[in-house]
Structure 1
Amino acid sequence: MGGAVRRRQLLEFAVLGLLHESPMHGYELRRRLNAALGAFRALSFGTLYPCLRSLLEQGLITEEEETGTGTGKRQRIVYGLTPRGQERFQSVISRVDPGSWEDDGFDVRLAFFARTETEVRLRILEGRRSRLEERLDTARQTSAKHRERLDSWTAALQRHGEESTEREVRWLNELIDAERNAPGPTAHAARAGSPDGAHPPTDPSDHGPSESKE
Structure 2
Amino acid sequence: MTTLPKNLPADARRAATVEAVVALAATQNPSDITTTAIAQQMQLTQGALFRHFANKDAILLAVMEWVAERLLARIDQAAASTASPRAALQAVFLAHVGFVAAHPGVPRIIFSELQRAGETPPKRAVQTLVGSYGTRLHQLISQGQAQGELRADLDVQAAATLFIGTVQGLVMQSLITGDMARMCVDAQRVFAIYQRGIEAGQESTR
Q: Please, what TM-score do these two structures have when normalized by structure 1?
A: 0.29
- Which one has a larger percent helix, Structure 1 or Structure 2? 2
- The structure whose residues are more often strand, as a share, is 1
Superposition TM-score, scaled by structure 2 size: 0.29
Higher relative contact order (CA 8 A, sep 6+): 1
